[in-house]
Structure 1
Amino acid sequence: MIYTDGTIAINAGSPIVTGTGTQWKKNIHGVAPGQLISIENGIAPVSMMIRAVNSDTELVLSFNAPVTLSGAKYSIATTVPDTISDAARTMSANQGYIVYFLQAMQQWMTDTGQVEIELPNGQKVTLEDVKGLASREWVGEMLYKPNSAVTRVQSPNKRNVVQLEDGGTVGFKDTVTDRYRFALISDGSTRCFSDGEYTGLDLVKIDGRYVRLETNPHAGTASMLSIVYRQANGENQHIVTIPYDTGVVATRSWIQQATGWGSVYADYPPYMTNFTNTNLPNGMYRFNQNSQNPPSVIGDRFGSVITTRYSGDIGQRIVLPNYGATHMAIHRYTGSAWESVRVLTSNMYIVDGSGYYKKSSPIVQIYPDGHYDTNDESEGAEVSRTGTGQYHITGILGYNSDGAWGVNGGISVPKDNNGLELVYVDDRVQSDGSLIIETCHRQHTHLPERFQNWRLKEVTPEGERIFYQDGELCDLPESTRLDVRVEMPQDSVWNVKQRELAEQMEREQAEREAKEAADQAGDSGE
């Protein structure tokens, strides 16, 4: 066997070895003269024979130490394992400790006072003797049993006690008021008591910060419970109150799944599987190409729905498509039929030069000097002024095909206060889809002279005023514009973006469905 406990120090020229944390004299460890000690000294350990064991912390070597060391590790070969000498030493040591232990037990059971016992590892412990325990002298009557049904451990002043009742209640009790402060009840409940309106329970973290659950006064308050997050110094950080009312306190996840509200970041509301489901709870939902019976007014099949119910199966839904021309629609059930309308949003109309609302998208707005504006859907169209009253629109496929501005085209001409158009428009669609528009003066000669459109063309050096003639080419009047509703090609910026967005939505939908299927498969396999 080998003994290595503690560390040692030696001085060059001296045979004395001084130990720290060693127990060389204890017979159970078997350190004895004639044994070999090896002391750590870099790569060349010092090895010598032990000549004498003076105490637990002092050995004498057979020769003087060749070096000075402090706090060095060491090892002593006490016996060769599994030999007769090893067995004899072990049996002798154990027998000696057994005798010592029996003597200590005799002292513990017969003496009065405290008994000190040393354990095999050298640790010393103090035990109250049996007589002291039996007489309760050391307890100071802290353990008290007032009757057969109640047992108490009480403080020296006997006011505050830990009480155990045979019925199963255990807790901290004030004997003056005869009220529990904190109790565990046999039915599994826990109760905290206070002398006022505020009763609390603290849940404390290792850094001292804590959450307090605390009651609020019954009178003059709208809440019955507060949940308070506090710093270690007691400073309030966040407070949540529970109203003094009957109801359910819902988590964000519950609200999201039950009503759709509370969805943030990666959380998504549930899908609306059928637009004509009249029993759908109030809340927010998603829809996609798999949602059944969508209203025709929404167009593309991805987006969100806010649903409300008036009574029974009568309700309304606000539909918010993710892309496309329709930004919002209303879908409602009257009790006998579904009705749907598009909400007129700013992307769906323009106010023309005469102040009238007209269906929008895609629109090109042309100004007198030839500069122009496009909207989202007409992005990519270009206009150039090729001459007086001549404008060339390229990057398009003629007028918009839906005829919303009339069967003869899609141009809104500026008007005067009497609603009279200020110019004639002559237009030609070219073979490449581009559009040439010419504007000519419109005099309205059939009207009384003072109501006609007198537009000044120039003033001669002699001061004569020259007016445009009816049908004469002219630029648009100042502060007016020509609104043209056009058809965009499939490779226009808007159409390409819409296709890419639709493809992206389909990919994301497929990925979500695959993930949900994988999650469900994982849950079923557990």
Structure 2
Amino acid sequence: MIYTTGTIAGNGSTITGTGTNFTAAGSLIRVGCTLIAFTNPVQVLQLTAVTSATALSVTPAISPAIAAGTKYAILLSDSLSVDGLAQDIAETFGMYQKYMGGFSDVMNGTGDVTITINGQAVTVPGQKSVAKKGANTDITSLGGLTTALSMGQGGTGAKDAPGARQTLGLGTAATANLTRSNADPETGRVMTVGDFGLGTEIPLSFVNANTVGISGFYSGPGVGGVNYFDPYSPIITLSRSITNKAQLQIEASGKMAVRGFFTTSNWSAWRQVYTDGNTTKASDGTLKAASPVVKVFANGKAETNDESEGVTVTHQGIGEYLIEGCMGLNADAAWGGIDGGFDIPTDRNKQPLIWLDYEVNEGGSVLVKTYHRTYPDAPVFARNVREGFAGGDPIDIPADQFVSVRVEMPQNSIWNLKMLADQKAAEEADRIEAQRVAEAKRIAAEKVQDEGEQSQS
């Protein structure tokens, strides 16, 4: 075996190589090898030292000097002797030991490691300084990182929390905590659906309406509810402080009531709000409580409200109107009691234009009778004179007027049946909600128990 890579020059006892790698691992170039320089005449030299990849020391002295670019040959194995074989083996082991030492430094190093391979120095980072990769072995430390990772690299593109939130498009809610319960009164928290009854079809239920002071949308407890306008209806609480608040409750029928709690120790009574759902406009334009009310017109036409739906009126003759589908008159003190459930038309001086009488039949129908009414002692313009009719004669209700009759409705009326159905539906909804709450509590309790058992094990 010979080594002939590159060219040499020489003078004295030093050989200088060009394009050579005398120290390459496994090259077998070593002290004692023979170097033949192809000069004229040829010079035969023996290596006394391998100084570097491009330098050798030789003996005897070079004579004459070897010119640059001279070809050469180094005999790597002079013979197949035992001594030569031993030297080859020792050189090979030395090469592997050198490589293995370098590889060990690379695998265990925490900084840059330089190793020489075939005479070429290579610098690589120690593997302990390289971040781990792959599933479940993500980066655990980047102490030397000075540039923030972009979102595409798995970072936020920022070096601080405000910058990260801005890059991610997060608003101020990102720094706020969620409410701890659906009635958490602490300011600054972020509400979730269902808090204070918002965003849910089944709002919070009061345990006791008198104790609730937090603004929100609620519902009554249903059966057994006290201190409510209606224990089944939704209720709104508006609070300025624990001693300055108000509530508004609306029934399914549309009736509405309010009450307040202002610097006193108790709620005020519920005050019903009057609307066209619970009042009727009398023929003179005034409002009266109306529930249920039937308006009877001259030709027997009838107008009912929600609660009197189903009542019919028949014009049986002059001044006679039969009201059916009711159970007599409603004894409401606001209308004068049992005998005062009527409102009759008046003139511009508030004088009644007719007399009115009635009969309640055995089945509950009401026969209303109307009679002409005059005022002979009044000025001419106010005597209410009708041609062909004397005072007390049967007469129809004036064509441009009506008589309001407040009636009592049977239990099976359209309105009462609807209210009964609504109440049953509300009770069923309460039952389902109670079951849902109980089941949620059971699941939560089981979860706590399981977590406790796991922690003990």
Q: Is contact 1:330–1:343 with CA below 8 Å preserved after alignment?
A: no
Once residues 397 and 496 of structure 1 are traced to their aligned partners in structure 2, the CA distance between those partners, rounded to angstroms, is 15
Match of 1:491 in 2: 412
Q: Deviations over 1:21-57 (max 9, x none)?
A: xxxxxxxxxxxxxxxxxxxxxxxxxxxxxxxxxxxxx
Say if 2:343 is the partner of 1:343.
Answer: no
Q: Is contact 1:368–1:478 with CA below 8 Å preserved after alignment?
A: yes
Q: Deviations over 1:2-21 (max 9, x none)?
A: xxxxxxxxxxxxxxxxxxxx
Say if 2:196 is the partner of 1:263.
Answer: no
Q: Structure 1 441/191 Cα, relative in aligned 2: closer, same or farther at 3 Å?
A: same
Match of 2:301 in 1: 371
Match of 1:519 in 2: 440
Once residues 275 and 502 of structure 1 are traced to their aligned partners in structure 2, the CA distance between those partners, rounded to angstroms, is 19
Amino acid corresponding to residue 374 of structure 1 in structure 2: T
Match of 2:377 in 1: 446
Q: Structure 1 525/200 Cα, relative in aligned 2: closer, same or farther at 3 Å?
A: closer
1:136-155 paired onto structure 2 within 5 Å: 137=122, 143=125
Q: Structure 1 152/513 Cα, relative in aligned 2: closer, same or farther at 3 Å?
A: closer
Q: Structure 1 420/517 Cα, relative in aligned 2: closer, same or farther at 3 Å?
A: same
Higher relative contact order (CA 8 A, sep 6+): 2
Say if 2:143 is the partner of 1:170.
Answer: yes
Say if 2:376 is the partner of 1:428.
Answer: no
Once residues 215 and 273 of structure 2 are traced to their aligned partners in structure 1, the CA distance between those partners, rounded to angstroms, is 21
Q: Deviations over 1:140-177 (max 9, x none)?
A: xxx599xxxxx799xxxxxxxxxx99xx653642xxxx
Once residues 145 and 343 of structure 2 are traced to their aligned partners in structure 1, the CA distance between those partners, rounded to angstroms, is 87
Match of 2:148 in 1: 181
Query: Cα offset for 1:494?
Result: 0.7
Match of 1:510 in 2: 431
Query: Cα offset for 1:417?
Result: 0.8
Match of 1:500 in 2: 421
Amino acid corresponding to residue 502 of structure 1 in structure 2: Q
Say if 2:343 is the partner of 1:412.
Answer: yes
Q: Deviations over 1:371-391 (max 9, x none)?
A: 111111001111010111211
Match of 1:359 in 2: 289
Once residues 133 and 277 of structure 1 are traced to their aligned partners in structure 2, the CA distance between those partners, rounded to angstroms, is 89
- 1:286 corresponds, among 181, 194, 219, to 219
Once residues 354 and 205 of structure 2 are traced to their aligned partners in structure 1, the CA distance between those partners, rounded to angstroms, is 54
Query: Cα offset for 1:136?
Result: 6.6
1:197-216 paired onto structure 2 within 5 Å: 199-200=163-164, 213-214=168-169
Match of 1:272 in 2: 206
Q: Structure 1 348/136 Cα, relative in aligned 2: closer, same or farther at 3 Å?
A: farther
Q: Is contact 1:424–1:440 with CA below 8 Å preserved after alignment?
A: yes
Query: Cα offset for 1:472?
Result: 1.4
Query: Cα offset for 1:338?
Result: 1.9
Higher strand share: 1
Q: Is contact 2:324–2:365 with CA below 8 Å preserved after alignment?
A: yes
Tell me the percent identity. 24
Say if 2:332 is the partner of 1:390.
Answer: no
Match of 2:255 in 1: 326
Once residues 349 and 227 of structure 2 are traced to their aligned partners in structure 1, the CA distance between those partners, rounded to angstroms, is 45
Once residues 468 and 417 of structure 1 are traced to their aligned partners in structure 2, the CA distance between those partners, rounded to angstroms, is 21
Query: Cα offset for 1:290?
Result: 5.2
Residue-pair matches, total: 318
Q: CA RMSD in A?
A: 4.0
Match of 2:192 in 1: 252
Amino acid corresponding to residue 263 of structure 1 in structure 2: G
Unpaired runs of 5+ residues, structure 2, are 1-94, 103-113, 132-138, 176-185, 448-457
Once residues 322 and 434 of structure 2 are traced to their aligned partners in structure 1, the CA distance between those partners, rounded to angstroms, is 49
Once residues 494 and 468 of structure 1 are traced to their aligned partners in structure 2, the CA distance between those partners, rounded to angstroms, is 40
Amino acid corresponding to residue 402 of structure 2 in structure 1: R
Q: Is contact 1:214–1:225 with CA below 8 Å preserved after alignment?
A: no
Match of 2:158 in 1: 192
Match of 1:235 in 2: none
Amino acid corresponding to residue 199 of structure 2 in structure 1: S
Q: Structure 1 360/108 Cα, relative in aligned 2: closer, same or farther at 3 Å?
A: farther
Once residues 317 and 492 of structure 1 are traced to their aligned partners in structure 2, the CA distance between those partners, rounded to angstroms, is 32
Unpaired runs of 5+ residues, structure 1, are 1-104, 113-128, 146-150, 154-163, 174-179, 184-188, 203-211, 216-222, 228-245, 456-465
SS of the equivalent of 1:276 reads helix
Query: Cα offset for 1:443?
Result: 1.2
Q: Structure 1 306/446 Cα, relative in aligned 2: closer, same or farther at 3 Å?
A: same
Q: Which structure would you say has the larger Rg?
A: 2
Give TM-score scaled by structure 1 length: 0.53
Q: Deviations over 1:369-416 (max 9, x none)?
A: 111111110011110101112110011111112332003221110111
Q: Structure 1 152/521 Cα, relative in aligned 2: closer, same or farther at 3 Å?
A: closer
SS of the equivalent of 2:368 reads strand
SS of the equivalent of 2:277 reads helix
Q: Structure 1 519/193 Cα, relative in aligned 2: closer, same or farther at 3 Å?
A: closer
Match of 2:135 in 1: none
Higher helix share: 2
Q: Is contact 1:319–1:331 with CA below 8 Å preserved after alignment?
A: no
SS of the equivalent of 1:516 reads helix
